[in-house]
A and B are shown apart, each in its own frame.
Chain A
């Protein structure tokens, strides 16, 4: 898997009383296998626009997005999306929601069940297969959303603030779960968050974005998720001096952006 974003610019045309907005300016980003890239930045910095661009929900005004040598021209099953608000279908139970992507692709019922079984197990949803999704807690709904995204074996997983709506405790558990999933499945992940701590803990690379126009201003390589996967506890990793030092650095970058606006 190789994702290559080349000089991507997105300009939203002027509306009534609204001037044209340069949502993204000259974005260059490359992702390889097993990369866990986290995008962070103040509101309006174009993180979600960038994700929509990669997902194919949006076309760049200039530049191009290449996935394994082919230009991205629309959404496709090689890039699955996990949304901020789970985006599940309320008339389907947990199992049918997880099988939804496979069903759309026309897989036979037995194949679907087999794949779904694996992810129900992996995401700790056993015993809830037949529950209606609206009866689940926010954390479980999001796990169903992640399971659904994984079933189609995408090359790249796009996560748009998937943990933003969860409470602090559930959120930490979910971070660990996603890291284990990432490690065990070997997927590449593009992840958006508002939480600096979450960004540093999860990613192998961090891109810091600035608003108006949205652009990438800094990039960091991160060692922390590896430390966690090597067996150091999440709290220890997050409390280490290295972690705190870079956390303050990233925070000061983002705050200076906020103040500039």
Chain B
């Protein structure tokens, strides 16, 4: 008996390992492909299918009445809500104004963070003196959640735009500065030496060798930074805001208007996604050589 059981156990085990082996095996390449490149292949079809299936499941559970609309409103009700808020507005302001205000807050903070963070990061990468001064404060505040220092921002800078933009600014600033700082190390010493052997000044080496080599990393850190910016937006609009998508989501939640909450989330995601696409486009334009040398 026990022998038989053992045998069966072994069989199941070998069947499982065979399945794993089949999943882990590299498929033979098709013409034009390179064998063994990890993660190669197009994912568009799969991604679109995933979105459609998720939407379908969402629609199904609401249409069958498995979940109350209070908790999960149907996809179509969200779309209808979007149209009505677009036409009528939410708490007296039309949707485009909410979007505009939030976009203004995020982007002005983002631009400010880039304008200060990138030069400072480069300077930190180039100069141990500047790095020594700015490294501790940035590393100190970087891991703190913006919600934690939001009260301080309000105590210090009031409840106006300043504290909101400053909060978003701080969340974008650290990743952008650190990205620029580590980007400085992307330039090879040979390229730097080549420039110096043509009689380049330190400034020229920074401008013509180090900065271009740092661009891929700077652009990546900008993408990460703006992501943090949108994340922080809702926190920034928690206190004393009367307009903005974050405010819209928060106040809708207080009235249990779940469809507005979800609609707001989707709008934020859509804007962030569009901007990310734009950044990728810029990346391809500015650093087409990325990863090629």
Contact = CB atoms under 8 A, between A and B. Distances in A.
Interface of A: 55-57, 74-77, 79-81, 83-85, 87-91, 100-101, 103-105, 132-134, 148, 152
Contacts of A74: 196
Interface of B: 188, 190-191, 193-200, 204, 208-209, 212, 287-289, 292-293
B194 A76 contact: no
A100 B193 contact: no
A91 B212 contact: yes
A55 B208 CA distance: 20
Nearest to B288: A132
Q: Binding site of B, secondary structure by majority: helix, strand, loop or mixed?
A: helix
B188 A89 contact: no
A36 B199 CA distance: 24
Contacts of B287: 91
Contact of A89 (B199, B204, B212): B212
A67 B224 CA distance: 50
B238 to A, nearest CB: 43
13 contacts: A74-B196, A77-B199, A79-B197, A80-B198, A87-B191, A87-B194, A88-B293, A91-B212, A91-B287, A103-B208, A104-B208, A132-B288, A134-B292
Contact of B198 (A77, A84, A85): A77
B198 A100 contact: yes
A142 B183 CA distance: 26
B287 to A, nearest CB: 7
A159 B58 CA distance: 66
Greatest chain B CB density within 10 A among A88, A100, A148 is at A100
B195 A104 contact: yes
A89 B193 contact: no
A76 B199 CA distance: 5
Contact of A57 (B193, B198, B208, B288): B193
Nearest to A141: B293
Greatest chain A CB density within 10 A among B197, B199, B208 is at B197
Given A85-B190, A87-B188, A132 B289 contact: yes
B292 A75 contact: no
Given A89-B191, A90-B292, A81 B197 contact: yes
B163 to A, nearest CB: 40
A79 B209 CA distance: 19
A148 B198 CA distance: 10
A4 B276 CA distance: 58
Contacts of A101: 198-199
A75 B212 CA distance: 22
A182 to B, nearest CB: 19
A152 B198 contact: yes
A134 B293 contact: yes
Contacts of A90: 289, 292-293
A104 B193 contact: no
B108 to A, nearest CB: 30
Nearest to B290: A90
Contacts of B198: 77, 80, 100-101, 104-105, 152
Contacts of B200: 104
Given A80-B198, A88-B191, A134-B289, 9 more contacts: A79-B197, A81-B193, A81-B194, A83-B190, A91-B287, A104-B198, A104-B199, A132-B289, A152-B199
B226 to A, nearest CB: 24
Contacts of A76: 197, 199
